[in-house]
Amino acid sequence: MTVEAMLLMTLSVSSVTVLAIWCYYKVFTTD
């Protein structure tokens, strides 16, 4: 696996995961 592939995969997957976690955290804490 190339470094660029690893980097793009990690960035993409982590960004959507962090966004989803943040959103649900806000939903549960501001309800």
Partner 1 sequence: MAQEKQEWGTRLGVILAVSGSAVGLGNFLRFPGNAAQNGGGAFMIPYFIALLLVGFPICWAEWTMGKHGGQRGFHSAPAIFGIWGKGSTARLLGTLAVLLPLGVYFYYTMIESWCLNYAWQYASGAMSVVKEAATVPEQVAVSAELFDAATGSAANGLGDVKTPAVTFWLITFAINIFFVFRGLSKGIETFCRYAMPAMLVCAVLVLIRVLTLGTPDPSAPEQSVAAGLNFMWNPKFEALLDFETWLAASGQIFFSLSVGFGIIINYASYMRKKDDVVLSGLTGAATNEFAEVALGGMITLTASVVFLGVAATIANTGGTFSTGFTALPVVFARMPAGRLFGTLWFFMLFLAAITSSLSMLQPAKAFFQEALGLTHRAATGLVAVLALGGNVFVLWFSEGLTALDTIDFWIGTFLIFIVAMVQIICFAWIFGIDKGLALAHDGASIRVPRIFRFIMKYVSPTFLLVIFIGFCIDSVPDKVRAVIGDEAAVEVAWNEAASPAWTAEVRSRIDAEDSEVPAEVIGLLETPAEGEAPELPNVFANSWDGILEWAQEVPGWSAGSGAPLTTSPKPIAPDTMAIYAWIVILTTLALLLAVAVVGQRRWRAQGLDIDGRLPAEEA
Interacting residues toward partner 1 by CB under 8 A: 1-2, 4-9, 11-13, 15-17, 19-20, 22-24, 26-27, 30-31
Query: How near is the Cβ of 30 to partner 1 at its closest, in Å?
Result: 4
DSSP secondary structure letter of residue 31: -
Q: What is the largest CA-CA distance in the chain?
A: 43
Query: How near is the Cβ of 22 to partner 1 at its closest, in Å?
Result: 8
Distance separating alpha carbons of residues 6 and 17, to the nearest angstrom = 16
Query: How near is the Cβ of 12 to partner 1 at its closest, in Å?
Result: 5
